[in-house]
């Protein structure tokens, strides 16, 4: 396997993270079991809020929301296919450490407290949210972590069973995942986003099969890649104007577009992977997902407390805070976590 080609997935993860930050950058209200906020645009809202640039920003946010989560699940499935499948016990331990530990630590120590500070919870709601978080209530954007945990475990079980039956085709797993996609909701119980994990199992498996097939072929030449890009862009434009695609097709086209753009950028600037800036970003890109969304509630509180949206400059500043601002701050928090983990590791070794 040509491991150099796997740098394309760094770009996929980067683009998907940028998309999710944008997708979370436009809401003014959010309600959950134990709390919520409901901000309304002021009567003297600046005309800048309805400028072409900010209207396009809100359109992009709604557009990427249609497929960005599917991209995250698919790239996780692709990562599973890169190396031989570990033993089930090792896989459970590894994914629990990677996904469930951050879920609880970030939820209890960061997300819920920041939302409390931003006025999302009153005192009683905050205590109830801390308790409910154990079962998945008020999990906010972190619901993705346990859902991915269950989805990967479900795919691993399917693959292990197929191995025992000596069925080597990954498409058998895809068929089983497709069946589960249509029946998972009949499960009579739900534990910490189990049903959500099963609902996205199909996308994890699609990513897994994609990577298995990708390893069999040489990279497409630039001409063919640009041709596919043109077809995908045409489909996107037709759907935006005439709604020619169903939801699943929108998700697949959006995911394919993300991958093609990642592939083209990877070809165009291959040396970026050796730069300190890129290494810094990729090292902390997972932390951007973990830390970005709670910052939005602090920004919303500040925005409406100081009437930022009543001026053109305030509208631009507000938008930059909820996009570039939360991305950069989340990277910095992630780097701090990396350093703390490194320090603790050195301390334990001593």
Count of Cβ atoms closer than 10 Å to residue 220 Cβ: 13
How far apart CA 340 and CA 348 sit, in angstroms, is 12
pTM of the model as a whole: 0.95
- Residue 2's pLDDT is what? 46
Structure tokens at 338: 């990396």
Is 60 exceeded by the pLDDT of residue 4? Answer: no
Q: Mean pLDDT across the chain, nearest whole number?
A: 95
Tell me what percent of the residues of the chain surpass a pLDDT of 90: 91
Name the one residue in this structure whose structure tokens are 């043109």.
Answer: 230
How far apart CA 288 and CA 170 sit, in angstroms, is 32
3-state helix, strand, coil in the chain (%, to 5): 80, 0, 20
Q: pLDDT digit string (tens) for 238-256?
A: 999 999 999 999 999 999 9
- Residue 6's pLDDT is what? 83
Q: pLDDT digit string (tens) for 264-278?
A: 999 999 999 999 999
Tell me what percent of the residues of the chain surpass a pLDDT of 70: 97
Nearest to 116 by CA among 319, 317, 301: 301
Domain extent listing, the chain: 1-65+272-350, 67-217
Q: pLDDT digit string (tens) for 170-226?
A: 999 999 999 999 999 999 999 999 999 999 999 999 999 999 999 998 888 999 999
Count of Cβ atoms closer than 10 Å to residue 130 Cβ: 17
Across the range 148-165, mean pLDDT stands at 97
Q: pLDDT digit string (tens) for 98-116?
A: 999 999 999 999 999 999 9
Nearest to 132 by CA among 53, 34, 247, 60: 34
- Residue 347's pLDDT is what? 57
Cα dist from 271 to 1, 187, 261, 274, 280, whole Å = 20, 48, 17, 6, 15
Is 60 exceeded by the pLDDT of residue 1? Answer: no
Q: Are 308 and 49 within 8 A, CB to CB?
A: no
- Residue 5's pLDDT is what? 54
Q: What 8-state DSSP symbol labels residue 37?
A: E
Q: pLDDT digit string (tens) for 33-80?
A: 999 999 999 999 999 999 999 999 999 999 999 999 999 999 999 999
Name the one residue in this structure whose structure tokens are 């003297």.
Answer: 44
Structure tokens at 15: 């683009």
Nearest to 100 by CA among 139, 127, 66: 139
Nearest to 71 by CA among 128, 17, 139, 125: 17
Across the range 292-298, mean pLDDT stands at 98
Most distant CA pair in the chain: distance in Å?
A: 68
Is 80 exceeded by the pLDDT of residue 348? Answer: no
Confidence of residue 319 (pLDDT cuts 50, 70, 90): very high
Q: Are 17 and 289 within 8 A, CB to CB?
A: yes
Across the range 78-93, mean pLDDT stands at 93
Nearest to 317 by CA among 86, 49, 3, 133: 49
How far apart CA 82 and CA 75 sit, in angstroms, is 11
- Write b or e for each residue in 144-182: b if 16 or more Cβ atoms lie within 10 A of its Cβ, otherwise e: bbbbbbbbbbbbbebbeebeeeeeeebeebbebbeebbe
Q: Phi and psi for 286 in degrees, rounded to 5?
A: -65, -35
Structure tokens at 56: 């396009």
């Amino acid at each position: 396997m040509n491991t150099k080609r796997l740098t394309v997935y760094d770009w996929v993860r980067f683009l998907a993270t940028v998309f999710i930050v944008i997708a979370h950058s436009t809401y003014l209200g959010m309600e959950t079991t134990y709390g919520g906020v409901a901000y309304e645009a002021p009567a003297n809202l600046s005309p800048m809020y309805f400028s072409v640039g900010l209207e396009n920003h809100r359109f992009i946010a709604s557009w990427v929301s249609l497929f960005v989560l599917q991209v995250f699940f698919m790239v996780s499935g692709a990562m599973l296919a890169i190396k031989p499948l570990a033993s089930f016990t090792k896989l459970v331990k590894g994914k629990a450490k990677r996904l469930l530990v951050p879920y609880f630590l970030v939820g209890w120590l960061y997300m819920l407290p920041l939302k409390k500070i931003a006025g999302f919870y009153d005192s009683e709601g905050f205590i109830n949210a801390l308790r409910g978080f154990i079962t998945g209530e008020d999990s906010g954007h972190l619901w993705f972590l346990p859902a991915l945990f269950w989805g990967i475990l479900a795919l691993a079980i399917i693959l292990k069973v197929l191995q025992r039956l000596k069925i080597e085709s990954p498409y058998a797993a895809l068929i089983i995942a497709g069946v589960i996609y249509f029946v998972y909701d009949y499960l009579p119980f739900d534990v910490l986003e189990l049903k959500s994990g099963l609902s996205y199992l199909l996308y994890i498996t699609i990513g897994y099969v994609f990577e298995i097939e990708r390893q069999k072929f040489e990279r497409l030449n630039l001409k063919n890649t640009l041709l596919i890009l043109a077809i995908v862009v045409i489909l996107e434009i037709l759907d935006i104007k005439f709604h020619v695609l169903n939801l699943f097709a929108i998700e697949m086209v959006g995911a394919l577009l993300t991958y093609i753009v990642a592939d083209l950028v990877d070809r165009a600037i291959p040396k970026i992977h050796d730069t300190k800036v890129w290494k810094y970003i990729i090292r902390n890109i997972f932390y951007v997902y973990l830390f970005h969304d709670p910052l939005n509630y602090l920004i919303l509180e500040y925005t409406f407390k100081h009437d930022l949206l009543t001026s053109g400059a305030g509208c631009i500043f507000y938008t930059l805070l909820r996009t570039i601002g939360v991305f950069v701050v989340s990277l910095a928090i992630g780097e701090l976590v990396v350093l703390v983990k490194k320090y603790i590791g050195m301390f334990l070794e001593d």
